[in-house]
Amino acid sequence: MRRSGLVGVAAAVLIAGSAVVPHGPQAFAAPISGTSAAAGVTAVASAGNHHDSRPGRDRAVLGRYKRIVVIYQENHSFDNLFGAWGSVDGERVEGVDQADPAHATQVAQNSSPLSCLPQNDVNLASPPQAVSCVDAARSITSAFENRPFTIDDYIKPADNTCPAEGVSAPFGVLKDSPGALTGGCTRDLVHRFYQEKYQIDHGKQDRYLIGSDAIGLTMGVYDTKQLPIYTYLHESGAPNYVIADRFFQGANGGSFLNHQWLIAGRAPYVDQTGEIPGTARPVNSIVDSNGMPTSYPFYVATGPVLDRQLTVACPPSADRADPVDTENYRLGCGNFAVNTVQPASRPYNANGPFMPLIDDEEYPNIGDRLTDRGISWAWYSGGWDAAEAGAPGKLFQYHHQPFNYFKAYSAGRPGRHHLQDETDFIDAARIGNLPTVSFVKPCGAENEHPGYASATSGSKHLVDLIDAVVTGPQGKDTLVIVTYDEFGGQWDHVSPPGRGSPTKGAYDAFGPGTRIPALLVSAGMTSSGVDHTSYDTTSILTTLEHAFGLAPVGIRDTKVNDLRKAVRVGSR
């Protein structure tokens, strides 16, 4: 069977509607050459970017900054979390109050507007909420009209609505019920590849409700100004910051895929003949005529569906000698893992399904590039040491450890030392011993993921991480980049780049997806501000590649904007 996606046939990335195809059969390993970078992206040919980055060197790599820290939070759209940020130094942040009503009104499956938001979170349903909106035609009785609502008005940060660690609560925890914990938690929301493609609706942003198991909760937003991260950044003596209000998740869907996008800029291809623990292998999805892989309370599938881990099988073609593709990146079909799959290297969920380890030689990641250049780096994960010792916490997320999917960082390999515990990061920040590049992944209880974590407690932990850096000995020459892996199933009104979208930017069959929160913070920043440049998760890769003169690891990272403009906003 011919593999025509990444190897043998280059994959297309679109910018403003035009196909851009990298040169060479090994598109993912090819360096940028000539003028292949998109307009607005700094070329890597600058002599200043090819500095000696061997251990022991301590030179500026991005503006005045000698170190970069990436903190990767969980599952919130920009509007959901930062939509009421307001203004920064007189410049307005694109928030909920600027949403086009057409993008804020959710529709039924037949595309007609709903009158009310149905709810199935146990604290938002009626009862306990009083009915104030009725849509008799659709049998909806609700306390919510069809528009965004503030979650804090119904579930407050101090409410006892969080489950005990490791307890499943698919519809949330009723306030003050036995065993309920403090934190103002909601139920979780579906956040998967094909569902998000459907929810975005070609940039209309009007199908979040019907494309979700959590229905009306998708339109909930938090009181931004009550979040610990907001209050911290506006206290006396706080570090300056830049908020990027056009930052999109790299790929449609959930955490597994976007963690891969953060370090490798692509969806991993699954070799179904490769070695895995046991026999549980991932399966191709099947979608209906609308591109949906399942039914939900307000969506009925139009044909056979199967919501699984891999993209749909590629369609047969009479044009080829071998009509079967197992990998076609341009079409986004074949054996690409887009929903959660377990790594073949421990720690992992023994229930699987599993994918074979990724060959770094064929599909490199940013860790490989940094290592080859002699640049110090680490991936710091909450709960990692316990998981390595075979005693993972109940909320340790295996699929949040993207390097563990690669051979070079699997158990027993030399690269494993780059994978460390979050406590090591905090210690390094406090004593001034951070590597040049740090990735920080909080554990489940502290990462803000709806369902099992609290937005407020996760935001407090985020503040602690940032403060450890900015008050440490290296604070003034370290740039902290904060963003979220994906939207968590929650609505945002800004259309991501895509075919026909008013938002310009690179895109392909995998994304980018919904807009997510993004901040740049440093004790060395001289001003705060807003950056309206279009970015996505691969902009972090591009920033590192341009800063250190590294070859790109993917395709879209040769086309997106790097973060230099945001850095300049903080240096005015």
543-567 tens-digit pLDDT: 999 999 999 999 999 999 999 999 9
Mean pLDDT score across all residues of the chain: 90
Instruction: Work out the number of other CB atoms within 10 angstroms of the CB of residue 280.
Output: 14
pLDDT-derived band at 166, boundaries 50, 70, 90:
confident
287-328 pLDDT, tens digit per residue, is 999 999 999 999 999 999 999 999 999 988 766 666 667 889
- Collect all residues with Cβ–Cβ distance below 8 Å to 417 and sequence separation of at least 6: none
Full 3-state SS string of 526-540: CCCEEECCCEECHHH
pLDDT of residue 183: 94
Please give the pLDDT value at position 249: 98
**Per-residue model confidence (pLDDT) at position 466:** 98
Which pLDDT score is estimated for 151? 98
More confident residue, 509 or 572: 509
Token match 């999917």: residue? 405
Q: Which pLDDT band holds residue 392 (cuts at 50, 70, 90)?
A: very high
In order, the DSSP letters of 277-301 are SSS----B-B--TTS-SS-BTTB--
pLDDT digits (tens, 9 = 90+) for 394-417: 999 999 999 999 999 999 999 999
- Percent above pLDDT 70 for the chain: 88
Cβ–Cβ < 8 Å for 342, 399: yes
Query: CA 8, CA 320: separation in Å to the nearest integer?
Result: 14
pTM of the predicted protein model:
0.91
Give the alpha-carbon dihedral of 500, 504, 507, 513, to 10 degrees.
Answer: -90
Q: What is the pLDDT of residues 438-454, one digit of tens each?
A: 999 999 888 889 998 88
Query: For residues 248 and 535, is the Cβ–Cβ distance under 8 A?
Result: yes
The pLDDT assigned to 7 comes to 37
**327-328 and 133-135 beta bridge pairing:** unpaired
User: What's the average model confidence in pLDDT over 329-336?
Assistant: 94
Mean pLDDT, residues 248-269 taken together: 98
Residue 233 confidence class, pLDDT cut points 50, 70, 90: very high
- Residues 456-505 have pLDDT tens digits of 999 999 999 999 999 999 999 999 999 999 999 999 999 999 988 999 99
